[in-house]
Amino acid sequence: MKNITYVNDKFVNHDKAVVSVEDRGLLFSDSIYELISVFNGKIIDLKLHLNRLFKSLKKIRIKSNFSKNKIENIINKLMNQNSLKNGYIYIQVTRGTAERKHEFPINYKPTLIIFTKNLNINKKIYKKGIKVITMPDIRWMRRDIKSTSLLPNILAKQNAIEKGAYEALLVDNGHITEGSASNIWIIKDSNKIVTHPVNNKILNGITRQTLIKILKKNNFIVLEKSFNLIQAKNSKEAFLTSSTMAILPIIKIDNFSISNGKPGETTQKIMSLYNYYINQKENKKKNSSKELKIA
C-alpha cells in the first residue's frame, strides 16, 4: 500500500521523508503536534484539533507560515493517496532548522510534517477493560501545551507496560491529573462523572471536550474537579479517553479492582454514546434532519 508523507512542501514516500539533523524539533523538542483519529474514513473533530494546534503554536511562539486551510488540503490529499480508512493523522510543527542555540533563530521557516497511519482496532480491550498503575507526575507545569517533549510520559508508559498495565495515571500532590497519553474520568456512587479541570496541569483532550458536550446533552452530571488517588480507587467506575483509544474502561488501579473487575454499566453506556457520535458524523450529510442528542 502507498504511504505518502508531507514534509516541508513536499509529498514523498514515507521512508524518504527527512528533516535536518539541526532541526530544532530534534535538538530541543522545540515543537508541538496533533494526532487526529480516522474511523471508517471519517476524520474525527478536525476543527477542534486544528484550533488546538494553532493555540499550541501561539503558546510556544512559533510564527506559522501556513493556514488551517492549507493543512486541511494536505490531509485530504494524504488520506486519498494512502487510502486511510482507520488510523490517524499526525501533524508536527517545529521551529525549523538553525544553528544550535537555545534562543529563537532570528529568521526561521517552521518545519511542517504530516503523515498518516493505518491502525486496526483491538476490540478485546474495550470488552475486557484495562489495568492502570499510578506514578508521580514529574512533568513540567505547562501540560496544556501539546508539546513533543514527552520524556516523562514515555517513561511512565514504559513502566506501565513493564508492570503488565495499559496506562500510567500521573499523581501530582496526591491528585490524579491524567494518564501518560490520555485523560482520566471516574464515576462516583451518585453517578456523577468527574474529570480534572482544564488548567496548566493537564492537556485538554479533544475527546474530553467532545465527551463533556455529549454527556451534558444526555443529562449526565459532569464535574470538572480534581480527585485524589483514594477517590479514584474507591470509584464506582473509571475510564480513559484519547483520540486513538476513544473511551477505554478501567478495571483495576494498582491493586484495586474497579466495578468488580469488568467494564461498568455507565461506562458502557458512555462508550455507546461516543460511538454513536462518531457514526453520526459519518452519516451527517445523509441524515441531516434527524434530531440528535449529541454534540
Q: What is the DSSP letter of 86?
A: S
φ and ψ at 95, to 5 degrees? -80, 25
Per annotation, catalytic residue among 131, 146, 201, 252: 146
Q: Is 181 among the residues that bind ligand PMP (CB under 6 A)?
A: yes
Decide whether 133 or 181 has the Cβ nearer to ligand PMP.
Answer: 181
The residue assigned the cell 453517578 is 191
Q: Is 242 among the residues that bind ligand PMP (CB under 6 A)?
A: yes
Q: Is 89 among the residues that bind ligand PMP (CB under 6 A)?
A: no
**CA angle 182–225–236, rounded 5-degree value:** 75
Decide whether 172 or 178 has the Cβ nearer to ligand PMP.
Answer: 178
Least separation in angstroms between residue 99's CB and ligand PMP is 31
Reference 235, options 266, 208, 198, 205; nearest CA is 266
Count residues contacting ligand PMP (CB under 6 A)? 14
Q: Is 177 among the residues that bind ligand PMP (CB under 6 A)?
A: no
Q: Is 183 among the residues that bind ligand PMP (CB under 6 A)?
A: yes
Least separation in angstroms between residue 127's CB and ligand PMP is 21
Query: In this structure, are residues 88 and 116 in contact, taking their beta carbons and an 8 Å threshold?
Result: yes
Q: Is 205 among the residues that bind ligand PMP (CB under 6 A)?
A: yes
Least separation in angstroms between residue 228's CB and ligand PMP is 19
Least separation in angstroms between residue 204's CB and ligand PMP is 8
Q: Is 178 among the residues that bind ligand PMP (CB under 6 A)?
A: yes
Query: In this structure, are residues 110 and 98 in contact, taking their beta carbons and an 8 Å threshold?
Result: no
Q: Is 203 among the residues that bind ligand PMP (CB under 6 A)?
A: yes
Query: In this structure, are residues 229 and 134 in contact, taking their beta carbons and an 8 Å threshold?
Result: yes
Interacting residue with ligand PMP among 5, 82, 243, 259 (CB under 6 A): 243
Decide whether 35 or 155 has the Cβ nearer to ligand PMP.
Answer: 35
Q: Is 206 among the residues that bind ligand PMP (CB under 6 A)?
A: yes
Q: Strand, helix or coil at 170?
A: strand
* Residue 162: partners with Cβ closer than 8 Å, 6 or more residues away: none
Q: Is 182 among the residues that bind ligand PMP (CB under 6 A)?
A: yes
Least separation in angstroms between residue 6's CB and ligand PMP is 20
Decide whether 207 or 259 has the Cβ nearer to ligand PMP.
Answer: 207
Stretch that binds ligand PMP, among 85-93, 103-111, 175-183, 217-225 (CB under 6 A): 175-183
Q: Using CB positions, name the residue nearest to ligand PMP.
A: 205
Rg of the chain over all Cα atoms, to the nearest angstrom: 20
Neighbours of 134 (CB within 10 A): 18
* Separation of alpha carbons 217 and 204, rounded Å: 20
Q: Is 208 among the residues that bind ligand PMP (CB under 6 A)?
A: yes
* Separation of alpha carbons 274 and 178, rounded Å: 20
* Separation of alpha carbons 74 and 226, rounded Å: 39
* Separation of alpha carbons 4 and 233, rounded Å: 45
Work out the widest C-alpha separation in the chain, in whole angstroms: 58
Known catalytic residue: 58? Answer: no
Residues noted as catalytic:
146
Chain residues that interact with ligand PMP, rule: CB under 6 A: 35, 153, 178, 181-183, 203, 205-208, 241-243
